[in-house]
Amino acid sequence: EPEVTQTPSHQVTQMGQEVILRCVPISNHLYFYWYRQILGQKVEFLVSFYNNEISEKSEIFDDQFSVERPDGSNFTLKIRSTKLEDSAMYFCASATGTGDEKLFFGSGTQLSVL
């Protein structure tokens, strides 16, 4: 069964450092998403991406965040200067684009900012 893959599974970084979280969506999917979940809290929407452009973004997704689809398979989330409060599990998801918005999630990257 096709799946969304994320790397790394864990990332530890120092405050102020840049991190790039990587995702390989399901190959025939057209819509891509990043969500985050702080421990004990809800799954929060960050950004959606379609046709090489951001479709929607939340208030959390400020200038410190960026997304990119550098090639035909990878989808990345960059945090330019990490803060302590960026510590969370980051989930990538993809959807077919046929309009049903069923999301398929990767297993996540646990980001710890020290």
Partner 1 sequence: RKEVEQDPGPFNVPEGATVAFNCTYSNSASQSFFWYRQDCRKEPKLLMSVYSSGNEDGRFTAQLNRASQYISLLIRDSKLSDSATYLCAVNILGYQKVTFGTGTKLQVIP
Q: Is 50 in the site for partner 1 (CB under 8 A)?
A: yes
Q: Is 106 in the site for partner 1 (CB under 8 A)?
A: yes
Q: Is 102 in the site for partner 1 (CB under 8 A)?
A: yes
Q: Is 65 in the site for partner 1 (CB under 8 A)?
A: no
What angle is formed at CA 41 by the lines to CA 58 and CA 56, rounded to 5 degrees? 15
Contact, 46 vs 92, CB < 8 A? Answer: no
Q: Is 7 in the site for partner 1 (CB under 8 A)?
A: no
List 12, 17, 20, 56, residue binding partner 1 (CB under 8 A):
56
Decide: residue 103, CB within 10 A, 0-12 exposed, 13-18 middle, 19+ buried.
Answer: middle
CA distances to 27, 33, 41, 48, 72 from 87, rounded to whole Å, are 29, 18, 12, 20, 29
Q: Is 103 in the site for partner 1 (CB under 8 A)?
A: yes
Among 110, 95, 114, 99, CA closest to 36: 110
Q: Is 44 in the site for partner 1 (CB under 8 A)?
A: yes
Stretch that binds partner 1, among 11-19, 59-67, 78-86, 97-105 (CB under 8 A): 97-105
Footprint on this chain of partner 1 (rule: CB under 8 A): 31, 33, 35, 41-45, 48, 50, 55-56, 58, 89, 91, 100-108
